[in-house]
Chains A and B, each alone.
Chain A
Amino acid sequence: DTGVSQDPRHKITKRGQNVTFRCDPISEHNRLYWYRQTLGQGPEFLTYFQNEAQLEKSRLLSDRFSAERPKGSFSTLEIQRTEQGDSAMYLCASSPPEAGPYEQYFGPGTRLTVT
C-alpha cells in the first residue's frame, strides 16, 4: 500500500512566476487536504476536498492560490505570481471514507523556495 505522494519534492522559482504542485492520495481515500508549513511552525490548513468537491478554504488561501481535484483522485495546488512569503513546505494529506477527517495521512511535502 503506497502512501501519499507529492511532486515535485522541491521547487525553486523566481518571484512572480507561477508554480503547480501535485498530490496523489492513498488509493480509495475520498478526502484530500492541503496544508502549509513555514519554518519552525506547525502546519496550517489551506483547503480540503471530499471527492471532487472543495468543501472549505482557509482565508490563508488568497486569490493567487487555486486548488483542484477534477476527478476525485489526484489534486493540484497552483500559486500564481509567487511572492517570497509563499516560501514554505506544502503538505498534502488524505483520509479514508470510514474515518472521516480523523485519520489524516500526510505526504512528504513540496518545499517551495521563492527567490
Chain B
Amino acid sequence: AQSVTQLDSHVSVSEGTPVLLRCNYSSSYSPSLFWYVQHPNKGLQLLLKYTSAATLVKGINGFEAEFKKSETSFHLTKPSAHMSDAAEYFCVVSDSSNTGNQFYFGTGTSLTVIP
C-alpha cells in the first residue's frame, strides 16, 4: 500500500533562512514522488518530481528534494525563503502498479515566512 506522511503540519521560517519540509513515504513498488504547492484560493502547482532518475531533484522557484530510499524520505528544501513561498505544500506518492495514475497525498505542511 502507498502512503505519505508529512511530519510537520506547520513550519515557520524567517525570510532569507533555509526551508525544510519533511516527507516520508511508504510504497510497495518503485515510487514516483512529487511535491505540489497550493497558494490561498488557488489550485495545486507542481514544484518537482522524482521518477527513478537522479536522486536530487531540482524544481521551480529554487526548491529541491532528495530521494533517500534507505530512509524512505523525500524532503523538500530551499536555501533561502522568500515571502512568496508562504503556502501549503503537499507531498505525493504514486507507483507503477497503479491504474489510472492514482496519487496518494499527504495532509500538507503550511509554510509561514516571517519578514
A joins B in a complex: no
Show the binding face of A for B, using Cβ within 8 Å. Answer: none
Q: Which residues of B line the A interface, CB within 8 A?
A: none
